[in-house]
Amino acid sequence: MKTPSHLTLAISAAWALSIGSLCAQDWPQWRGPMFDGSSPQAKGLSAKFSKTEGLSWSAPLPGAGASTPVIAGDRVFLTSADVATRELLVLAYDRKTGKELWRHKVADGDRKDDRSNYASPSPVTDGKHVWFFFGQGDLLACTVEGKEVWRRNIQKDHGGFAFGWTFSSTPLLHDGRLYLQVLQRNVAVQGRGRTDGPNESYILAMDPATGKDLWRHVRPAEAREESLEAFTSPVPYTHAGRSELLVTGGDCITGHDPVTGKELWRWGTWNPTKIPHWRLVPSPVAGAGIVLACAPKGSPVYAFKLGQNGNLGEEGYAWKSAERELSSDVSTPLFYQGKFFILNSDRRLMLCVEPATGQVVWQGELPGRTKYEVSPTAGDGKIYTMNMAGDVVVLGAGDRFEVLHTVPMGDEGDRDVRSTIAIAHGQLFIRTGKTLHAVAPGS
């Protein structure tokens, strides 16, 4: 039965009044309050800590997941795949004590390959409600107290996901709309995807109050096969009074009108020979009027001036990296204190880059021999990242490469840690394979 239009409008209006309860110290989205990996208001963050010193608390998790914890006020929200039952779960913790406040089972079945599970997309919150998405298509909204408000499955409503690997993209809550992108193959693969019609890549805008579609914008691309698969998330940015949704995948980057989904500009491609296996993982990041797109497999980073229109053409970028070291196959870059920080996952390098020119200010090799796929975050003059074994590295964000601290925070057997370190209310939130640690302020 359809909800009467006047009732839907009333619900949406009431919902809109509840938005705005977040504070600058919260971490409401995967990439933080600024959508760029930074927390500019953060103060007194710890530079040195361990599993036995300087922690507010540590809480056991039911299982692994690449999703990043999000924080609003005194609550921490997370998704997980239960290693024992293979159930998909949503969880809430008390930020001050680590006490589990509530959990809900969402679905049975946690994965379809051995590289990741369905608990890879991160939640998003406005301080009153929280939205959770899983790689098998379930999307649900709850109050921060744990009451479910609505639920739907994107595969059921818009066709199966045509991905060779496990799909992951984090929803975006921005300006009163909930966005989700599905950039996928144009034909079914390994029995996944639609066989009764076209497999279209699209951006979906929904009413956060009801989960109902506001619009669905088809985003075509000329890439081939796996190169059409993107595990990126949309990022908002406003430049010179114009707001855009920035989307990367399918061998190209596009900017869209957040109100209608209309494509404003496009550039492609970093893959002129149409190599078929160049899936894309790093999301775009914007700052200082520049947006970066990281091409995969050791290819360059491309920078674009925002505010442009139409098809930018083959040489439409502002600059592209010339150094082989300046590349990122997995980690989404960080924008902080007027600079981009790019983590080269394969070479275990961190590079500080000038936005306008692409000039490398400094670069340095991260400790250890394990690969880094976590996207770096920053606050209080410090940069935080972690390798796949759960070893945390703290860097200075100044004018030279400086390692402030290195500490093993992982659990026994950890080899696929990918969750970003969240920053909120002076604390750090570090998710490993079996544990969620909260680092105390000022340790």
Of 230, 333, 240, 331, which Cα lies nearest the Cα of 286? 333
Question: Which CATH number describes the domain made up of 42-62+348-443?
Answer: 2.40.128.630
Helix (H) or strand (E) holding 212: none
Cα–Cα distance measured from residue 209 to residue 403, given in angstroms and rounded to the nearest whole number = 44
pTM: 0.94
* Burial tier of 412 (Cβ tally within 10 Å: 0-12, 13-18, 19+): exposed
Q: What count of residues does the chain have?
A: 443
| pLDDT by residue, tens only, the chain of 443 residues | 334 444 344 444 444 444 457 998 999 999 999 999 999 999 999 999 999 999 999 999 999 999 999 999 999 999 999 989 999 999 999 999 999 999 999 999 877 667 789 999 999 999 999 999 999 999 999 999 999 999 999 999 999 999 999 999 999 999 999 999 999 999 999 888 988 888 999 999 999 999 999 999 999 999 999 999 999 999 999 999 999 999 999 999 999 999 999 999 999 999 999 999 999 999 999 999 999 999 999 999 999 999 999 999 988 999 999 989 999 999 999 999 999 999 999 899 999 999 999 999 999 999 999 999 999 999 999 999 999 999 999 999 999 999 999 999 999 999 999 999 999 999 999 999 999 999 999 85
The residue extents of the domains of the chain are 42-62+348-443
Token digits of residue 287: 């700052």
Place of tokens 């050791």: 298
- Residue 298 in contact with residue 349, Cβ under 8 Å? no
